[in-house]
Each structure stands twice: as structure tokens, then as C-alpha cells.
Amino acid sequence: MHRGRRYVLTLSCPDRVGIVARVAAFIADRGGWIVEASHHSDAENGRFFLRQEVRADSLTVSYDELVAAFGPIAEEFGMEWRITDTAVRKRVVLMVSKQEHCLYDLLSRWQSGELDVEIPCVVSNHETLRGVVEWHGIPFHHVPADPADKQPHFDEVSRVLADAKPDCIVLARYMQILPPEVCSAHPGKIVNIHHSFLPSFVGARPYHQAYARGVKLIGATCHYVTPELDAGPIIEQDVIRIDHSDQVDDYVRYGKDIEKTVLARGLRFHLDDRVLVHGNKTVVFS
């Protein structure tokens, strides 16, 4: 059953008495029907986090009026906040290299309607996946990267992203380290899948690192991209058990399944405004 149009309010602020009551009263005074509500109090940091979904058709005010009216409350409580409209489809740019499994999975979810977003383009430093992307009717941008000088590559990537105006950028095994200027241009919007259970085995060839270390669990991590390599706030993780008989090729094969599911879950949480970031940690209202 279709859930209907909703407005999603997310916020964080210094913790104090009366936040939930004030927000609930604000919505109720405008006829709002709250259909989902979550909150978390971080006692260690004195921070409060909240997410509420409201049926749009229950409100007596428009979206713009709702946003304007909430401003004074946000200022009073020192809130970092936003209200999003589920009727506005988010724009998601996918960035890939040669490995196809994460791209195939996301395109399949998009084609079936499970991933209800606009994909204005796919960007890659190789031509390998052009065929499958264009078969889906999505523009494909091949932006070669010279290992000796990658700046022209990132200059063109920045131009493509500026034209695409994405709400989210997904590094679906893009295999390039984004420079600080690209990260800072899209704060909190770049989602990466790393083929390791971070913070273990940062950087390249993590499955080979895991094999050399003799671990019994391998995993994958969906996280936000920051200038520090593989150190951004973590959205979602999962693991699978391996044993002494498994070789590196087995690690890679098992890992691909985890990578797909972890990326899909993490991206879903992000697109549904279920992730609130504070410092290098996240609160995920799953």
C-alpha cells in the first residue's frame, strides 16, 4: 500500500526538558497527524535527536508555511533542522569504476521502483559499464583519470556534479579518493561503500589485508565521505563469517554480497532522512 505524501522533520539540539512536547504541540496545532516518531537522547554529549513523519494531507498549512512557522521554535531551542517533502524525488548521481555488482543492484532497485529517485547520470573513470547504464536510459559520463595527474579528472567531475545538482552522490565502488574540494562542495551528501568492516583495513585491498591477518569475520561499511580516507560517519555495516579454508577470492565473492546489501540499506536510510550526523557519529532511526 502506498504510504502517501508526508513531511519529514529531523532535528538535533542541546538536550532539555520540553522539546518533544513543543514539537508535538506545534504539529497538532496545525492539524498534523504524526504517523511515525523517533527520538534519542545522548546523555554523554547532552544532545537530543528527533525524527517525525506527518501526513501532508492532514495539515491545515502549506509546506512553505510549515517551514516558516517552525523557524522561531528552532531558534529558541538552538536546533539544526530541516523538513523534507516525500513528494519531491531526490536526485542521486552514481559514481563507479570497473566493478559492477553495486551498480547492477542499485539500477535493479531503481528499475523496479523500489529506489524511488531520479538518477540524472552515472559518472565513471572507465568505459566498462556504459552499456548497462545507457540500456537503462541514464546518461553516462566517462571521465578518464590519469594516475600521474588526476586533477583534470576531478575538475571535470566537479563540473558534471554541479550540472546534475544531486541531493546525494553514491560511490558505488568508484575506487578513487575524492579530493577535499569535492568533499567540501557536497557535505553530508556523498555516500560510499567500503569493502571492510571499518575502522579495520582502511584503504586499498582490504580483503587481502584481512586474509593476511587471518580474521574470522569480514564485512562492509556504508559511510559518509570526508577528506579523511575511510573515516567519515558510519551509516550501516554488516559482516559474514569465514574460516581457514577460504582464500582471497572467496573473501571477495562473499564480500560482494555484503557490499550490495549494506550500500542499499545505508542509501535507503539516507534518502528517507533517517540519518542524523553529529561530529563523526550518526544516529540512524531505522
The whole-number pLDDT of residue 18 equals 96
170 Cβ contact partners less than 8 Å away, ≥ 6 residues apart: 92, 93, 94, 95, 106, 191, 192, 263, 267
The predicted model gives 239-249 an average pLDDT of: 92
Judged against a pLDDT cut of 60, whether residue 1 lies above it is answered with no
20 Cβ contact partners less than 8 Å away, ≥ 6 residues apart: 39, 50
Q: How confident is the model at residue 199 (pLDDT cuts 50, 70, 90)?
A: confident
The whole-number pLDDT of residue 229 equals 83
Domains 6-85 and 92-284 in one fold: no
14-37 b/e (C-beta count within 10 Å ≥ 16 → b)? ebeeebeeebeebbeebebebeeb
Q: What's the one-letter identity of residue 140? A: F
Residue 163 known to be catalytic: no
Judged against a pLDDT cut of 80, whether residue 188 lies above it is answered with yes
Judged against a pLDDT cut of 70, whether residue 137 lies above it is answered with yes
Judged against a pLDDT cut of 70, whether residue 2 lies above it is answered with no
| One-character DSSP codes across 51-98 | EEEEEGGG-SS-HHHHHHHHHHHHHHHT-EEEEEETTSPPBEEEEE-S
What is the separation of C-alpha 156 from the centre of its chain, rounded to a whole number of angstroms? 23
Judged against a pLDDT cut of 50, whether residue 161 lies above it is answered with yes
User: To the nearest whole number, what is the mean pLDDT of the chain?
Assistant: 95
Can you read off the three cell numbers belonging to residue 236? 550501516
The number of beta carbons lying within 10 Å of the beta carbon of residue 269 is 19
What is the separation of C-alpha 174 from the centre of its chain, rounded to a whole number of angstroms? 15
Domain ranges of the chain: 6-85, 92-284
Phi, psi of 233 (to 5 degrees): -55, 135
Q: CATH for 92-284?
A: 3.40.50.170
Question: 105, 167, 230, 273: which is the annotated catalytic residue?
Answer: 230
The predicted model gives 108-118 an average pLDDT of: 96
Q: How confident is the model at residue 261 (pLDDT cuts 50, 70, 90)?
A: very high
Closest CA relative to residue 89, chosen from 72, 113, 68, 112: 113
Fold topology of 6-85? Alpha-Beta Plaits (3.30.70)
Q: How confident is the model at residue 149 (pLDDT cuts 50, 70, 90)?
A: very high
Q: Which residue has the higher pLDDT, 37 or 200?
A: 37
Percent of the chain with pLDDT over 70: 99
User: pTM of the predicted model, to two decimals?
Assistant: 0.94
